[in-house]
Amino acid sequence: MVGELAYAASKGAIEAFTRTLAAEVGHKGITVNAVNPGPTDTGWMGEDLGRELAAKFLAGRVGQPEDAARLVAFLASDEAAWITGQIINSEGGFLRQ
C-alpha cells in the first residue's frame, strides 16, 4: 500500500489485536474477529472514484455497507461460534493493482 503507511500500520495493529484478544478471552466463550470489507461506499467516495474502484472488483461494483453487515451478523450468530481470531477479507475480490 504505497503512500498509505499509517493506514497499513493500523491494519496490522488490528490483526495483532484481534488474534491476541481472541487468545485472551477464548476460555470465556467469547469470540473475537475482524472484518476487512475493502472499499465500501458509505458516502465518502465521489462518482468518479466509485467508477474507478468498481472496475477493480470482480463483481464490477464497490462494496455496500450491507455487504459487511451481513458478515458481521453471521459472526455474531451461534453458527459462527467456532470462528475466532480471524481477519475475514470480505472485499468482493478487490484487485489491488
Active site amino acids: 7
Cell digits for 15?
490483526
Cell digits for 49?
472514484
Contact 86, 18 (CB under 8 A): yes
